[in-house]
C-alpha cells in the first residue's frame, strides 16, 4: 500500500479491506474484541486522506462514551479538519437536525427533552384527565406501549385505527394521543420522539432531507444490531442518495429486543442493499483462547445468526471457572473473597474486576459483602446524578429560561424557594392557559387578567420577573454565569447552608459538581449555549458516567456491560429460571427469547480478558421464596475441556478448615457471653413512639444516616410503627421501622 494512513498502522487483512472499501454499501460483521472502533476511525481518516471533505462524513454510535472515544482517535490520526466530522449518537444527531428545522413540524426550536421522570409526570396527568384506572392499566405499561409504537414509527392515528374493538388498545391509543398533545403544548419531545420526528421531518420536507444527504455523503453506523425500525428508516433515508453506507455490528451481540432493537436490520441488510460488500472480523484481541472457545460453543446453539467463529493469537489462559454453592450468600462470599485475594497478592487492582448479573435485584448481596469487606465499588444503574432533587430543580430553572412552554419545569420551580403560590392559584392559571390556548408560563405573565386569582397574582409576579431578568442575562453571559445567577437570585444554596445538616451539605456538594460541569462545558464546547448544555445533560447515559480510572469493583447487569472489558469477570446466578429467565423459558416463542438470552450470555463471557468465573447457587431467595434451580443450560453448553468445575459444599472443605472455623465461632461466643455478664441489664424496656404521619411517601427520595440516599418502594402501616421498604443507591433494598430509621426526605 502506498497510502500514508495504512502505512502508519498495523491492520489485519480483513480490517484493511474494510478500511479500503469506501464506495457503496458495506456490512462489517465485527465479533467481540475484533477492533471495530479501530477500523471505523481509520476508515474515517482514510476517507479524508483520499480527498473526502471531513464535513461529508457522519459516524453514528450508541453512547456518548463511544462517540467521544471515536472522535479522539480520529483527531489523533488526522489532526486538522477532523473536528468537522460529525461523530455522535443517534439522539444527538437528531437533536442537532431538529434544532434547525423542527419549526417545519410546528414546534419551537427551543424544545425541551423529557427524561423518564418527566414522562412519568406527564403520564400521571394524562391518566388523570382521561380517568384511566392505573390499578387496571399501569402507567408503566402505557409508556412502554407508546415507546414501542414510536420505535415502529406508528402515529397515534395509526394506533387508533389498529385498535378496532379492543378496549385496551382503544384506551392505549387515546392515552398516546393525549400524551403527544401534552408534549406539544409543553414544546417538548421524549427520547423516542427525537428519532421519530427527524424521520417525519425528512419525509415531509424533501428539501431538508436533500440538504443532509448532500452533507453526509459517507455514513458509518456502529452497533448496527441494536438499531430499531425508526433508526433503520432514518439511516436509509440519509443514505438513499449516495448509498455510501457502512454499518458495523455483531448479530451475536443483539441484546436489546426489549428496547425495540430489531435483529433483522443486520441479518437482512443485503436484502435492502443488494450490492452490499460483507466483511467478517473474527480475530479477537481481547480475550484468552479458553474464554473465546466457551463463547463460541455457547453461541453456536443459536439458529438465527450469521456463521462466524472468534479466534485469537493470545494464549489459552486459565480455564473458565465454574463454582456452585449452596446459596446466594456463599456465592457472594466466594466472589468477594476471590477479588480481595487478587488485590492482596498484588495480581490486580479493584477496578480490574466486574461482577455481572441478570437482574438488578442480585446486586444487594454483593453490595452488603463489599461494604462489610471495606472494598470500594461502583454500582452501574444507580440513581443518575442528574436525577437528584437539587440538580433537577436548578436544571428546571435553566429549562424555563430556555423554553417557557415547558410546563413541567415551570411547575417544579414555581415554589422553589417557597413563594406561597397555592394549589388553587396554580389550578386557575392552568385553566386559563387551556382556555386561551397559551402556555402555562404565558398565563403566569398575564396573572392579573385571570378571573378569581385575587392576591395570587402578587405572589406570581416576583417569579415571572425573576425568569424574565434571567432570560435577559442569557443573551450576554455564559451558561455557567447564568447558573450562578440562578443560584444567587433564588437563594437556593443559602437555604441549604442555613439548614446546616449532613443532607444539606451533600446537596451543596452536588450543586458545586454541577457548577464544575457547566464550566467545563463552557470551556470545551465548540459553540457553548444554554440549549446545547441542556441537550448534553438530557442525552447522558448511565454507562457514560463510568470512570474506568477509579479504583472500584464494578457491579452491573449483563445488559449494562456491553462495550466494556475487564481482566476478571464474574457472572453470577447461572441457573435455569434466573439465566435464562423463567419468563423466557415460558414465553409464547421460547426459542426466540432463549436465543436473546444466549446472546446476552455471549456478551457477558466476551467481557473477560484474562479470567472468567461463572457461579450458581443450589437454592436462592427470590421474591421472598426459596427456589431450587438446576445449573443454567448455558454453562452446560461450554465444552468440558474449557471448564474448571467445583461444587463448593461444606463436605468438600478440609477437616482442618472446619475445625478452625468452629473454634473461632466458639471463642467469639464465649467472648460475647463474658461481655454480657460484665454488663448490667437495663431494667426499662425500649419504647417505640409511632408518628402520626410520615414526611415522605412511596416514590420519594430519602436519606438514611448509614445507608445514604434511596427511593421509598413501599410503606406498610403496623399497629406500633410504619415498616418502610427502601431501595438505597449503594446498600440495596432494606426494610426499616420508621421510628428507628429516622429517614429524611431529600
β-strands 57-61, 218-221 pairing: parallel
Contacts of 17 (CB under 8 A, 6+ apart): 279
Query: Cβ(561)–Cβ(356) under 8 Å?
Result: yes
The conformation of residue 680, written as its DSSP 8-state character, comes to P
**Closest CA relative to residue 636, chosen from 549, 575, 691, 681:** 575
- Percent with pLDDT over 70 in the chain: 90
The Cβ of residue 644 has, within 10 Å, a number of other Cβ atoms equal to 13
Identify the band that residue 676 occupies on the pLDDT scale cut at 50, 70 and 90: very low
**Closest CA relative to residue 503, chosen from 216, 669, 745:** 745
Contacts of 430 (CB under 8 A, 6+ apart): 440, 443
Residue 418: per-residue pLDDT: 87
Residue found by looking up cell 403496623 in the block? 718
Identify the band that residue 545 occupies on the pLDDT scale cut at 50, 70 and 90: low
The conformation of residue 165, written as its DSSP 8-state character, comes to T
Identify the band that residue 716 occupies on the pLDDT scale cut at 50, 70 and 90: confident
Mean of pLDDT values over 19-35: 95
Backbone angles phi, psi at 399, to 5 degrees: -65, -40
Residue 332, exposed/middle/buried by CB under 10 A (0-12, 13-18, 19+)? buried
Mean of pLDDT values over 290-305: 95
To which H or E segment does residue 570 belong? strand 566-571
Residue 384: per-residue pLDDT: 58
* Rounded (10°) angle between helices 167-185 and 116-129: 120
CA dist list (Å): 339 to 73, 353, 367, 552, 677: 33, 7, 13, 11, 39
β-strands 625-628, 619-622 pairing: antiparallel
The Cβ of residue 176 has, within 10 Å, a number of other Cβ atoms equal to 24
**CA–CA gap between residue 85 and residue 101 (Å, rounded):** 21
Query: Cβ(470)–Cβ(396) under 8 Å?
Result: no
**Segment 192-236, tens digit of pLDDT:** 999 999 999 999 999 999 999 999 999 999 999 999 999 999 999
Backbone angles phi, psi at 308, to 5 degrees: -165, 160
Mean pLDDT over all residues of the chain?
A: 87
Cell of 434: 387551556
**Closest CA relative to residue 196, chosen from 232, 143, 142:** 232
Size of the chain in residues: 746
Mean of pLDDT values over 322-350: 95
**CA–CA gap between residue 231 and residue 247 (Å, rounded):** 12
Which sequence positions are flagged as catalytic?
Answer: 36-37, 222-223, 253, 607
**CA–CA gap between residue 103 and residue 18 (Å, rounded):** 39
| 3-class secondary-structure state, position 386 | helix
Residue 541: per-residue pLDDT: 57
Mean of pLDDT values over 699-707: 82
Backbone angles phi, psi at 712, to 5 degrees: -70, 120
**Segment 466-480, tens digit of pLDDT:** 999 998 888 778 899
**Closest CA relative to residue 363, chosen from 733, 736, 623, 734:** 733
What does the longest C-alpha to C-alpha distance in the chain come to? 92
Confidence check: pLDDT of 503 > 80: no
Contacts of 13 (CB under 8 A, 6+ apart): none
**Strand segments (E) across 418-531:** none
**Segment 79-131, tens digit of pLDDT:** 766 678 888 899 999 999 999 999 999 999 999 999 888 999 999 999 999 99
To which H or E segment does residue 646 belong? strand 643-648
Choice among 166-170, 410-414, 696-700, 717-721 with the minimum mean pLDDT: 717-721
The conformation of residue 110, written as its DSSP 8-state character, comes to T
| 3-class secondary-structure state, position 126 | helix
Mean of pLDDT values over 513-523: 84
**Strand segments (E) across 51-167:** 57-61, 86-89, 112-114
β-strands 566-571, 188-190 pairing: unpaired
Amino acid at each position: 500500500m502506498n497510502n500514508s494512513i495504512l502505512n502508519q498502522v498495523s491492520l489485519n487483512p480483513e480490517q484493511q479491506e474494510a478500511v479500503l472499501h469506501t464506495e457503496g454499501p458495506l456490512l462489517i460483521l465485527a465479533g467481540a474484541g475484533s477492533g471495530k472502533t479501530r477500523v471505523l476511525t481509520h476508515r474515517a481518516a482514510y476517507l479524508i486522506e483520499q480527498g473526502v471533505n471531513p464535513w461529508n462524513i457522519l459516524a453514528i454510535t450508541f453512547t456518548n462514551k463511544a462517540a467521544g472515544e471515536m472522535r479522539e482517535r480520529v483527531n489523533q490520526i488526522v489532526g486538522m479538519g477532523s473536528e468537522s466530522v460529525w461523530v455522535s449518537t443517534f439522539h444527538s444527531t437528531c437533536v442537532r437536525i431538529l434544532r434547525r428545522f423542527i419549526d417545519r413540524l410546528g414546534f419551537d426550536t427551543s424544545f425541551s427533552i423529557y427524561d423518564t421522570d418527566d414522562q412519568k409526570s406527564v403520564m400521571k396527568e394524562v391518566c388523570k384527565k382521561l380517568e384511566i384506572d392505573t390499578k387496571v392499566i399501569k402507567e408503566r405499561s402505557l409508556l412502554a406501549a407508546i415507546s414501542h409504537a414510536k420505535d415502529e414509527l406508528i402515529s397515534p392515528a395509526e394506533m387508533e385505527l389498529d385498535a378496532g374493538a379492543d378496549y385496551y388498545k382503544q384506551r392505549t391509543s387515546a392515552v398516546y394521543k393525549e400524551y403527544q398533545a401534552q408534549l406539544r403544548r409543553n414544546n417538548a419531545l421524549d427520547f423516542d420522539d427525537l428519532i421519530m420526528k427527524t424521520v417525519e421531518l425528512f419525509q415531509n420536507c424533501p428539501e431538508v432531507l436533500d440538504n443532509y444527504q448532500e452533507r453526509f455523503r459517507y455514513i458509518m453506523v456502529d452497533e448496527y444490531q441494536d438499531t430499531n425500525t425508526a433508526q433503520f428508516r432514518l439511516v436509509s433515508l440519509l443514505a438513499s442518495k449516495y448509498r455510501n453506507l457502512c454499518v458495523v455490528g455483531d448479530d451475536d451481540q443483539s441484546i436489546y429486543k426489549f428496547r425495540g432493537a430489531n435483529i433483522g436490520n443486520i441479518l437482512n441488510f443485503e436484502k435492502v442493499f443488494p450490492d452490499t460488500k460483507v466483511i467478517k472480523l473474527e480475530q479477537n484481541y481481547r480475550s484468552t483462547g479458553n474464554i473465546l472457545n466457551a463463547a463460541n460453543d455457547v453461541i453456536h446453539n443459536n439458529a438465527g445468526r450469521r456463521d462466524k467463529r472468534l479466534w485469537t493469537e493470545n494464549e489459552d489462559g486459565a480455564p473458565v471457572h465454574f463454582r456452585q454453592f449452596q446459596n446466594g450468600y456463599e456465592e457472594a462470599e466466594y466472589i468477594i473473597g476471590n477479588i480481595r485475594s487478587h488485590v492482596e497478592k498484588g495480581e490486580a487492582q479493584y477496578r480490574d474486576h466486574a461482577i455481572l448479573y441478570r437482574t438488578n435485584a442480585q446486586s444487594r448481596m454483593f453490595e452488603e459483602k463489599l461494604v462489610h469487606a471495606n472494598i470500594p465499588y461502583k454500582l452501574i444503574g444507580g440513581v443518575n446524578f442528574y436525577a437528584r432533587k437539587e440538580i433537577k430543580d436548578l436544571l428546571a430553572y435553566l429549562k424555563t429560561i430556555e423554553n417557557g412552554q415547558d410546563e413541567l419545569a415551570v411547575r417544579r420551580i414555581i415554589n422553589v424557594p417557597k413563594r406561597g403560590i397555592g394549589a388553587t392559584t396554580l389550578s386557575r392559571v392552568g385553566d386559563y392557559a387551556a382556555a386561551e390556548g397559551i402556555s402555562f408560563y404565558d398565563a403566569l405573565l398575564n396573572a392579573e387578567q385571570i378571573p378569581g386569582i385575587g392576591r395570587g397574582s402578587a405572589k406570581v409576579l416576583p417569579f415571572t420577573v425573576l425568569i424574565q431578568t434571567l432570560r435577559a442575562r442569557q443573551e450576554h453571559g455564559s451558561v455557567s454565569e447564568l447558573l450562578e445567577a440562578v443560584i444567587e437570585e433564588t437563594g437556593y444554596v443559602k437555604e441549604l447552608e442555613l439548614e446546616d445538616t449532613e443532607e444539606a451539605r451533600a446537596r451543596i456538594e452536588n450543586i458545586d459538581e454541577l457548577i464544575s460541569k457547566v464550566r467545563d462545558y463552557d470551556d470545551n464546547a465548540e459553540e457553548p449555549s444554554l440549549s446545547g448544555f441542556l441537550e448534553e445533560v438530557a442525552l447522558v447515559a448511565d454507562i457514560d458516567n463510568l470512570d474506568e480510572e477509579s479504583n472500584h469493583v464494578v457491579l452491573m447487569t449483563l445488559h449494562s456491560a456491553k462495550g466494556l472489558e475487564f481482566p476478571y469477570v464474574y457472572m453470577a446466578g447461572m441457573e435455569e429460571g434466573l439465566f435464562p429467565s423463567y419468563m423466557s423459558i415460558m414465553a409464547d416463542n421460547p426459542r426466540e427469547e432463549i436465543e436473546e438470552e444466549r446472546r446476552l450470555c455471549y456478551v457477558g463471557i466476551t467481557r473477560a480478558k484474562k479470567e472468567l468465573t461463572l457461579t450458581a447457587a443450589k437454592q436462592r431467595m427470590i421474591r421472598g421464596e426459596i427456589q431450587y434451580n438446576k445449573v443454567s443450560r448455558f454453562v452446560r453448553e461450554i465444552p468440558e475441556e474449557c471448564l474448571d468445575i467445583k461444587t463448593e459444599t461444606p463436605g468438600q472443605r478440609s477437616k482442618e478448615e472446619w475445625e478452625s472455623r468452629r473454634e473461632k465461632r466458639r471463642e467469639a461466643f464465649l467472648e460475647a457471653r463474658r461481655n454480657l455478664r460484665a454488663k448490667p441489664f437495663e431494667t426499662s424496656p425500649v419504647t417505640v413512639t409511632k408518628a402520626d404521619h410520615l414526611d415522605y411517601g412511596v416514590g420519594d427520595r430519602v436519606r438514611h444516616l448509614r445507608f445514604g440516599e434511596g427511593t421509598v418502594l413501599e410503606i406498610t402501616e403496623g399497629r406500633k410503627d410504619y415498616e418502610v421498604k427502601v431501595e438505597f443507591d449503594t446498600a440495596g433494598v432494606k426494610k426499616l421501622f420508621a421510628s428507628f430509621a429516622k429517614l429524611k426526605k431529600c
